[in-house]
Chain A
Amino acid sequence: SAVISQKPSRDICQRGTSLTIQCQVDSQVTMMFWYRQQPGQSLTLIATANQGSEATYESGFVIDKFPISRPNLTFSTLTVSNMSPEDSSIYLCSALGGARDTQYFGPGTRLTVL
């Protein structure tokens, strides 16, 4: 399995600002993903973070709002841009294990936008 860490674990931000969340995996992985979990809701996939190229976004999510980088096989960042209170959520990073059959999740970043 992969061990995943995220920074920050939580933050409170002002409307209109941006926050970058970091995700670090303890081993090289093939695929990394970013999810959003709105209060009381299930997880929704934002995008697949591709190493060395642009992320692949799901319907309803755009690069201008959620720019993603993945400079190598163990690290990725998600930026939540021009935040509004509707962006208050838990953001989770995941990585696909070596056998390509199981995703492991980080502890999440709890974001509150005032």
Chain B
Amino acid sequence: AQSVTQLGSHVSVSEGALVLLRCNYSSSVPPYLFWYVQYPNQGLQLLLKYTTGATLVKGINGFEAEFKKSETSFHLTKPSAHMSDAAEYFCAVSTSNFGNEKLTFGTGTRLTIIP
């Protein structure tokens, strides 16, 4: 079984400030980890993913995340927030097990950018 916990359903940061969205996971097998973004009235867009290899992964729009196995975390960061980053962010986990590729999502974090 697998699960995801996102700490903070709402996060507000000032424009230009650091963005940090927290995600912790639970998985009985090596996980695949994802961050998706959902802009208002739109579907989900893949921001970045970790499957294997380098634990620091870079995604679109200047976001990055680090897989920390010892902490079972996959926090999302961006050095400098932009107004266009305002959206809902979802962390998700799946596994490499054949036949178990379905995603389990966290509850989401709504990011607000303060001008």
Contact = CB atoms under 8 A, between A and B. Distances in A.
Q: Which among A31, A44, A48, A103 has the greatest number of chain B C-beta atoms within 10 A?
A: A103
Q: Chain A binding site: helix, strand, loop or mixed by DSSP?
A: strand
A31 B97 CA distance: 14
A20 B74 CA distance: 37
Contacts of A1: 46
A105 B90 CA distance: 13
A19 interface: no
Interface string A45-80: 100100000000000000000000000000000000
Given A104-B46, A107-B43, A42 B102 contact: no
B101 A105 contact: no
Nearest to B103: A103
B46 A102 contact: yes
Given A48-B102, A101-B49, A42 B108 contact: yes
A1 B46 CA distance: 10
A42 B42 contact: no
A36 to B, nearest CB: 11
B43 A92 contact: yes
A102 B49 contact: yes
Nearest to A6: B43
A92 to B, nearest CB: 6
Nearest to B51: A101
B36 A33 contact: no
Contact of B105 (A42, A48, A107, A108): A42
Given A33-B103, A101-B96, A108-B43, 15 more contacts: A31-B101, A42-B105, A43-B103, A45-B102, A45-B103, A92-B44, A96-B101, A101-B94, A102-B34, A103-B103, A104-B46, A105-B44, A105-B45, A105-B46, A108-B42
Interface of B: 32, 34, 36, 41-46, 49, 51, 90, 94, 96, 98, 101-108
3 tightest A-B CB contacts, nearest first: A107-B43, A105-B44, A108-B43
23 contacts: A1-B46, A31-B101, A33-B103, A41-B107, A42-B90, A42-B105, A42-B107, A43-B44, A43-B103, A45-B103, A92-B44, A100-B98, A101-B49, A101-B94, A102-B32, A102-B46, A102-B49, A102-B51, A103-B94, A105-B36, A105-B45, A106-B43, A110-B41
